A and B are shown apart, each in its own frame.
Chain A
Amino acid sequence: MKTSKTIYLFFIPGLILYSIFFLYPTVSALFYSFTDWDGFSEAFQFVGFNNFERALTGDSIFWKTVGNNLKFMLVVVILQTIVALAFAMIVLKNTKTTVFLRALYFFPTILSSVSVAFIWSFIYDPSLGILNQLLELAGLDFLAQNWLGNANIAIYSLAITQIWFHAGQMLIVFVAGLQAIPQEMYEVAKIEGASKWQTFRSVTWPLLAPSATIVVAYTTIQSFKAFDLVFAMTGGGPNNSTEIIATYIYEVAFRSYQFGYASSISVIFMIIIAFITFLQFKALRSDRVSY
């Protein structure tokens, strides 16, 4: 059946905005990454691969941010996925209590990163914060910390906040995935006398692989995009110990006005994300079974 030519008009408003505010900047990020532009002057020069060379070989802060980002990502992806899956399995059945609990666990997702940053800055506060006070109550004073001020642990404190913020959302994805597994599979496993762990290993996990792929991929990307939270909580400090790639791009561009250099870090950032996403899909796909 033939569709009238007027159908092309439906693309116009979206396509115009998308081209101006997404496609054009994406292409110009590539363009500027080969220049020494400061962001404001008319004149700039092409510097070839100099910016990339500087980032990869001469900029120790850049490598530090990559390392921070990986630490943050690993802690968040591993812990958040375990927490979300473990709790999803407990609140799986639909009862009044589980529906309420799921809604409660999900709640932080609707808050803004700035609000979450303030809440957790207070929790981590060395003198006012609930965390140190609880440790004192439990007689564990020696564990009390300046959670965001100690350069060795600040990135992990941020990771815990990120998990509090988003685990509930991933829990819901797992609940949906688990509820889609046919009940008969479990009955068969029971009849065959499989242990709890065997059942999990050979029924739940393989059939849950699609949800797990989604959760892991989404959590990874989210941990790279945690700009708002990091920016509002520590601003990358102390001593660049919580600087992630996204906040570093902001620093380089808007605090030291090296737009060309910031653009090349953006390009590297994009390549890293594409690469990790690709690896994960490959790894998790090969694990997939169908019955």
Chain B
Amino acid sequence: MFFKRFSLFVYALLILVPLIIVLLTSVKTLQETFANPLGFPEGGIKFDNYVAIFQEQTMAGYFMNSTVVTLFSVSLTLLFAAMIAFGITRLNNWLGNILFALFTLGMMVPAQVIMVPLYSLVLNIGLTNSLVGLILVNISSTLPIAVFILTGFMKTLPKELFEASTIDGAGNWKMFTKVAIPLSLPSLSATAIFLFVMHWNDLLYPLLFITDNAYKTLPLALLEFRGQYATNYPMLFTGVVIASAPMVVAYVFLQRYFVAGMTAGAVKG
């Protein structure tokens, strides 16, 4: 019993201590960090790094880019995936199965495998240094997993519900918006959270396609801070806190949904 409790406590510390260090370091000066890397700031808590990072970097711009890219990528992936899942469920035949297999094939191929030809393609159609380009690539990269999760869910919905609405003269679109979407909300919200985390944190695609500061998202900007600040950890960690803040706040309030969503993504992915 003691051993179990002790292990739980140690694991909790292993998670908490690094996070506390990040927060503490972000309110220290560089000198304080060198003098005492792990303790409390001797001169008291200062938010100078936060002020400095907004002055030295186009932080607001990176934040905005990440927000725009994430919101559009998540909502469009969800919409298109839900439409496809609905289509597969309604077709319910060999063609539906082939389409399902075609889309889920994408889950087997890691993004890194196609990064070379994908880069040439995006370059050729002039979508490098463009948020639109980033959004389009994001959608196609997470479409497979979203289709997989949503189709699995929609297939469990009772067919009679769809059939009853056909008798009422509802067309496919109406059936989709009035029956399929409302009934799939639990699955849609879990998928949405999974997609939010994926797109907000993604590094690979911005790294491949964005070189202009005006279009950089937070993870890429953060990575490049190291070129500028080297081992100035107070500034790096200030960046980490700002970049993680939206996800952390959302996690605190929507914990249960996060766990469900991220696990669905893992289990199905």
- Determine if chain A interacts with chain B: yes
Min CB distance, A210 to chain B, in Å? 10
Q: Encode A1-42 as 1/0 by CB contact (under 8 A) with B.
A: 101101111110111011011101110110010000001000
- Which stretch, A108-116, A148-156, A195-203, A282-290, touches the partner chain B? A108-116
- In the complex, the chain B residue whose C-beta lies closest to that of A18 is B140
Do residues A259 and B116 form an inter-chain contact, with CB atoms below 8 A? yes
Please count how many residues in chain A sit with their CB below 8 Å of the partner chain's CB atoms: 85
Q: Select which of B90, B110, B258, B259 is within 8 A of A3 by beta carbon.
A: B90
- Which stretch, A58-66, A70-78, A184-192, A269-277, touches the partner chain B? A269-277
Q: Encode A47-67 as 1/0 by CB contact (under 8 A) with B.
A: 000000000000000000000
Q: Select which of A26, A114, A119 is within 8 A of B203 by beta carbon.
A: A114
Which residues of chain B are within 8 angstroms of A274 by Cβ–Cβ distance? 108
B181 within 8 A of A: no
Min CB distance, A122 to chain B, in Å? 5
- In the complex, the chain A residue whose C-beta lies closest to that of B111 is A225
- In the complex, the chain B residue whose C-beta lies closest to that of A168 is B15
- The distance in angstroms between the C-alpha atoms of A123 and B11, with both chains bound, is 16
Q: Encode A85-115 as 1/0 by CB contact (under 8 A) with B.
A: 0110011000000000111111111111111
Do residues A115 and B86 form an inter-chain contact, with CB atoms below 8 A? no
- In the complex, the chain A residue whose C-beta lies closest to that of B127 is A21
Do residues B84 and A11 form an inter-chain contact, with CB atoms below 8 A? yes
Q: Select which of B22, B171, B201 is within 8 A of A113 by beta carbon.
A: B201
B41 within 8 A of A: no
- Which stretch, B57-65, B183-191, B229-237, touches the partner chain A? B229-237
Min CB distance, B104 to chain A, in Å? 11
Which residues of chain A are within 8 angstroms of B203 by Cβ–Cβ distance? 112-114, 227-228, 231-232
Q: Encode A243-276 as 1/0 by CB contact (under 8 A) with B.
A: 0011001100110000100110011011001100
- The distance in angstroms between the C-alpha atoms of A221 and B231, with both chains bound, is 32
Q: Select which of B37, B114, B243, B255 is within 8 A of A130 by beta carbon.
A: B37
Min CB distance, B258 to chain A, in Å? 7
B148 within 8 A of A: no
B52 within 8 A of A: no
Do residues A259 and B204 form an inter-chain contact, with CB atoms below 8 A? no
Which residues of chain A are within 8 angstroms of B240 by Cβ–Cβ distance? 114-115, 118-119
- The distance in angstroms between the C-alpha atoms of A262 and B200, with both chains bound, is 28
Give 23 pairs: A residue, B residue, CB < 8 Å, sorted on A. Answer: A10-B172, A18-B103, A20-B121, A20-B136, A26-B113, A28-B117, A39-B116, A87-B11, A90-B4, A105-B12, A106-B259, A106-B262, A110-B244, A111-B244, A112-B203, A122-B237, A125-B37, A130-B17, A164-B15, A225-B110, A253-B116, A266-B112, A269-B110
